[in-house]
Structure 1
Amino acid sequence: MNGGSVTTPFGRRPMTLGMFSSQVVSRQIEPDKSVDKWKLYRALCEARSMLGISDRALAVMNALLSFYPKNELSEENGLVVFPSNAQLSLRAHGMAEQTIRRHLAVLVGAGLLIRKDSPNGKRYARKDRSGSIEDAFGFSLAPLLARSEEIEALAAQVVADRLHLQRLRERLTLCRRDVSKLVETALEEDLTGDWDAVITYQRDLVGALSRNPGASELEGALEDMEQLREDVVNQLENLLDSRKISGNPDQDERHIQNSNPDSIFELEPSSETKQGAKAEGDNERHPKTEAQQDSSSGTAARRAGGQPVGDLKSFPLGLVLQACPQISDYAAGGSISSWRDLMAAAVTVRSMLGVSPSAYQEACDIMGPENAATVIACILERGGHINSAGGYLRDLTRRAERGEFALGPMLMALVRANGVTARRTG
């Protein structure tokens, strides 16, 4: 710093430890160090939020830099500028002098300027006989030169954070579009599934975001949205595979027995009557035979073509786990990553809740294994409000058979009750 000594402010302005620290740092500038003042100013503009200065303070800094005669800041060229407030006002686009003084104080407090006051507080330069400046009183730009690397590093971090936030927004937008378009396609093709619940869940994810979400909030929403998209894609793929197999009449019987490798029937034995009813694979093409078997072998024979009698709509696995997190505690390894894991955990929970094998088997026949497992997960979540889990399951099964029961409202109520959205934004 010019003079190599500590300078104190004029008049009633107090000396602070921050001012002293800025002057000490400025005295450690390397002799040959220089930096482009306008490049450094652009970095200062990028890093202003991290330095705690406003755009008005930057306008004052711009005006000060315009009084520096060289483009390169260096000790060789001197680092003190000494314009009057009137001159600063002209170059700060007519900013009021009182406002200029306030923002000058902000720049000094942020450690970006040093006041080098004259004995009478005026700003001027003393020149020798050759016209060279011997000493100057005004504002020293030495802190800018001393902290140039720090300012540029902060600016680079701000730019990187902004680009990261932009990419997160782009990915979230693309993911939202994918889910909306896939659901729209499913509705147009009249594919089985509770697509309204998917759209509702998607809207809840987006609606939970704050007005200006940060990176962590966007990352959480993006993770949930990507899981939702994956569940929708998997459901559509399963429906396509089912259509391809069921479209070949020569493979009807094989489809009924093997189309669902994650079936609950592999996890819990069924009665001989129901196994025998399942083997009748051509019932869909013979209505009279189906009617005869319905009267003799019960509900399972009515699942013609391997489809649940109640035609209950299914849901993405991610939504089920959001609504019913407790079911994961009963899975192998303490986590659920597939429908097979969920159905295996549901068998354990079924036994724990006292639901009979016949009641659960009937629910699988009417609702389908995945939906039956989902209902068990919901019953577990609401265990404190249900007196008889078995009786409640049988009642839901009868309502599903009559087409009077839907899983959507139950799942969405649990999502809201568990406060999943509140925890994500908290």
Structure 2
Amino acid sequence: MEPQYVSTPFGRRSMTLGMLANQESASKVDPDASVDKWKIFRALCEAKDRIGVSDRALAVLNALLTFYPKNEIAEVNGFVVFPSNAQLSLRTHGMAGTTLRRNLAMLVEAGLIIRRDSPNGKRFARRNGEGGLGEAYGFSLAPLLTRAGEIEAQAAQVVADRLEWKRLRERLTLCRRDIAKLIEIALVEEIAGEWTEMQKHFNLVIASLPRRPSAAEMENLLEDLEGFRALVVKTLETKTKTGKTDANDSQNGRHIHNSNPHLISELEPSFETKQGAKPAEEPQPRREPPKSFPLAMVLQACPEIVAYGPGGGISSWRDLMSAAVIVRSTLGVSPSAYQEACDVMGPENAASVIACILERGGHINSAGGYLRDLTRRAERGEFSLGPMLMALLRANGPMARNTG
């Protein structure tokens, strides 16, 4: 049985409050509790950085465990091991005495072992009348039992963090590959767009990633890159659809050239009245509103609109659309102009355009006229939100922070 009392260190080694707390905690041992010494040691190896011990200190602890007579650390088996420094040096493959003492002190400070020093500082044990061990002086392994749950939880968290890091790394690798190959095919096929600029910024963003990034760093970069990938994909889809539409119109002979397309809507009513033509009476169906870009990308490109959201923040598309209504009024955009933009572009894209106009407010003379012009161009398939967002991302988004 290990005596339940405070043990102060021998010689010039001083007592600390941490050592006192560790001894008090170790004294509260459940008599029926036990832990496999090698299982808890493996958990310690996983959680060593969180516990605050080095590889060398764990090598010393491993040597101490080899002197424990049983596999199960339990009160019935005693807690104290008492090898000499010479024996410990042999079992740590010839570790020098000064290094051995330093790592023993580290184990004590980390609260993994407790010194049970004899009056003269020697390590030994006395036999009791029944032939078993009585009082023993050396190092108590009781903290490994009392802290087993904590150590195993720390080890499990380390394993979970490592798996999460690996998962993020895989997602980041796939995202990087997707962007690189999509930009490459756009350049090879000579698809219209700012592909060279996109490639430059993509390379700068990747170059900013540390050699061994943390999970938080990868998560932040992954959010930026996934938004960037969505922009690349959407731009490619828009250009592909536009190309197919132009090809079909050319084949079917329906392409109409007009040097002033803005006057079509003004001329059509008088033409209908005079000619009474049926095609004019049946308006052409509008294009399907394009899909919206990721909300995170819009907010990165247009941070000013966040202040107009409910409670001074935007966390959903509903919040952005509410903010756009307020900004629309502030910019002097009429309700009818904004409603028409919503009908043509879709409410999410219309709100995104309002956010872009707010961001570029100093460069736009008439926000209402500018929005109506963009709406007419979108209705004809001549306007895409992607390039506008890309330009603002270069000025305000993560790419600007990385290049700066």
TM range (shorter): 0.7 to 0.9
Match of 1:221 in 2: 221
How much does 1:244 deviate? 2.4
Give runs of aligned pairs for residues 23-172 of structure 1, distance below 5 A: 23-128=23-128, 131-172=131-172
How much does 1:76 deviate? 0.8
Q: Distance in 2 between matches of 1:256 and 1:7?
A: 97
Contact 1:179 1:229 in 2 (8 A): yes
* Cα distance change of structure 1 residues 358 and 73 upon mapping to structure 2, 3 Å threshold: closer
Q: Which amino acid aligns with 2:234?
A: N
* Cα distance change of structure 1 residues 67 and 210 upon mapping to structure 2, 3 Å threshold: same
Q: Which amino acid aligns with 1:354?
A: N
Match of 2:198 in 1: 198
Deviations 1:225-262 (A, max 9, x none): 111111111122222222322222355647999xxxxx
How much does 1:111 deviate? 0.7
Q: Distance in 1 between matches of 2:370 and 2:5?
A: 92
Decide which of 389, 401, 404 is 1:420's aligned counterpart. Answer: 401
How much does 1:131 deviate? 3.6
Contact 2:125 2:133 in 1 (8 A): yes
- Range with bigger deviation, 14-23 or 207-216: 207-216
Q: Which amino acid aligns with 1:81?
A: V
Q: CA RMSD in A?
A: 3.9
* Cα distance change of structure 1 residues 37 and 199 upon mapping to structure 2, 3 Å threshold: same
Runs (5+) with no aligned partner, structure 2? 269-292, 309-319, 325-345
* Cα distance change of structure 1 residues 40 and 351 upon mapping to structure 2, 3 Å threshold: closer
Contact 2:2 2:136 in 1 (8 A): no
* Cα distance change of structure 1 residues 370 and 327 upon mapping to structure 2, 3 Å threshold: farther
How much does 1:148 deviate? 0.6
Q: Distance in 1 between matches of 2:221 and 2:237?
A: 24
* Cα distance change of structure 1 residues 325 and 345 upon mapping to structure 2, 3 Å threshold: closer
Match of 1:272 in 2: 263
Q: Which amino acid aligns with 1:182?
A: L
How much does 1:93 deviate? 1.4
* Cα distance change of structure 1 residues 358 and 230 upon mapping to structure 2, 3 Å threshold: closer
Deviations 1:63-110 (A, max 9, x none): 100111111111111111001111111111111011110111111111
Identity of aligned residues (%): 47
Partner of 1:126, secondary structure, is: strand
Decide which of 307, 314, 334 is 2:323's aligned counterpart. Answer: 334
Q: Distance in 2 between matches of 1:211 and 1:185?
A: 28
Q: TM-score with structure 1 length normalisation?
A: 0.69
* Cα distance change of structure 1 residues 238 and 251 upon mapping to structure 2, 3 Å threshold: farther
Q: Distance in 1 between matches of 2:153 and 2:239?
A: 53
Match of 2:334 in 1: none
Q: Which amino acid aligns with 1:178?
A: D
How many residue pairs match? The answer is 340
Contact 1:89 1:96 in 2 (8 A): yes
* Cα distance change of structure 1 residues 107 and 372 upon mapping to structure 2, 3 Å threshold: closer
* Cα distance change of structure 1 residues 105 and 256 upon mapping to structure 2, 3 Å threshold: farther
How much does 1:134 deviate? 1.3
Give runs of aligned pairs for residues 297-312 of structure 1, distance below 5 A: none
Q: Distance in 2 between matches of 1:358 and 1:157?
A: 54
Give runs of aligned pairs for residues 204-283 of structure 1, distance below 5 A: 204-248=204-248, 249=250, 253=254, 271-272=262-263
User: Is 1:21 the counterpart of 2:14 in the alignment?
Assistant: no
Contact 1:228 1:318 in 2 (8 A): no
Contact 1:63 1:91 in 2 (8 A): yes
Contact 1:165 1:215 in 2 (8 A): yes
Q: Distance in 1 between matches of 2:225 and 2:18?
A: 47
How much does 1:48 deviate? 0.8
How much does 1:192 deviate? 1.5
Match of 1:354 in 2: 365
Q: Distance in 2 between matches of 1:372 and 1:153?
A: 47
Contact 1:35 1:145 in 2 (8 A): yes
How much does 1:112 deviate? 0.7
* Cα distance change of structure 1 residues 358 and 8 upon mapping to structure 2, 3 Å threshold: closer
Partner of 2:5, secondary structure, is: coil
Partner of 1:247, secondary structure, is: helix
Partner of 1:135, secondary structure, is: strand
Contact 2:44 2:155 in 1 (8 A): yes
Deviations 1:299-355 (A, max 9, x none): xxxxxxxxxxxxxxxx99987864554477787433799654444456676698425
Contact 2:302 2:355 in 1 (8 A): no
